[in-house]
Amino acid sequence: MRKLMVMVLACVMATSLGGLALALDPLNPSDAKRDDDGDQLSNLLEYMYGTDPLNEDTDADGLPDGYEVNYDQNRAIFPANNEWARFDSDDDGVNDVNVDPNYRFDPALKNAHDLADQDGWDTYTEYMIGTDPTNPDTDGDTLRDDLDPRPLIPDGSHSGQDDGSFEGQAQGTGMGTALSAHWDAFVLRGF
Ligand SMILES: [Ca+2]
Ligand SMILES: [Ca+2]
Ligand SMILES: [Ca+2]
Ligand SMILES: [Ca+2]
């Protein structure tokens, strides 16, 4: 079993390194900035994250490499008095949002089933719908994504308000911006 796992790992590494060799030519000064597989992650960033520059979804979890990197670097941040910042679903004393160590994305590791923001939807569902996988309430109307009939439109709240004016809104990528629908515009292109 151990031998089999080593062989599988070696194959994955060989495939990845093979792609890397094809995507990054030491004699070509411009290939680092290219995005050969169209996953919104440049070849150089693919190298830095250990992903395959010729495979848009290295860990085969349905989430493009660039999507995972984007949300790993740009997760929704909530002020301390916010309802979601106080949310501790596993009751381990570490709040889910902002600080829980499980609240990570790694494009080289399969994690589509992680409930990063504990809103009841797995990350792949959030990707398909366009909600923010790091924000339990993408549109900021206080209705949790999975309970919100229109999770990208701030038209509902627990109190019947429709302006999404909830105390202490998130900063960063998620709240009210439906970032997932536009994530490709946010992924680093500076390399
Ligand atoms: Ca790429
Ligand atoms: Ca992936
Ligand atoms: Ca969400
Ligand atoms: Ca909502």
Q: How many angstroms is it from 176 CA to the middle of ligand 3?
A: 12
| pLDDT tens-place string over residues 26-54 | 667 677 889 999 999 999 999 999 999 99
Instruction: Give residue 36 CA to ligand 3 midpoint distance, Å.
Output: 29
| 178 Cα–ligand 3 center, Å | 10
Ligand nearest to the CA of 19: 1
C-beta atoms surrounding 121 within 10 Å: 21
Q: To the nearest whole percent, how much of the chain has pLDDT over 90?
A: 31
Would you say residue 92 has pLDDT above 50? yes
Specify whether the CB–CB gap between 105 and 69 falls below 8 A.
yes
Q: Dihedrals φ, ψ of 77, to 5°?
A: -115, 135
121 touches 134 (CB < 8 A):
no
- Give tens-digit pLDDT for 125-153: 999 999 998 888 999 998 999 999 999 99
Q: What are phi and psi of 171, to 5 degrees?
A: -110, 155
Distance 44 CA to ligand 1 centre (A): 8
First to last CA, the chain: 40
Distance 178 CA to ligand 1 centre (A): 23
Dihedral (CA of 91, 159, 137, 140) sign:
negative
For the ranges 17-26, 111-120, 158-167, which has the lowest average pLDDT?
158-167
Share of the chain above pLDDT 70, in %: 55
Ligand 4 centroid–CA 150 distance in Å is 7
Task: Output the CA 47–ligand 1 centroid distance in Å.
Answer: 9
Choice between 140 and 174, residue whose per-residue pLDDT is larger = 140
* pTM for the structure as a whole: 0.67
3-state secondary structure (DSSP) of residue 77:
strand
Q: Is 69 helix (H, G, I), strand (E, B) or coil?
A: helix
For residue 184, give the ligand nearest its CA. 1
12-47 CB burial, b ≥16 within 10 A, e <16: eeeebeebbeebbeeeeeebbeebbbebbbbbbbbb
pLDDT band at 172 (very low <50, low <70, confident <90, very high): very low
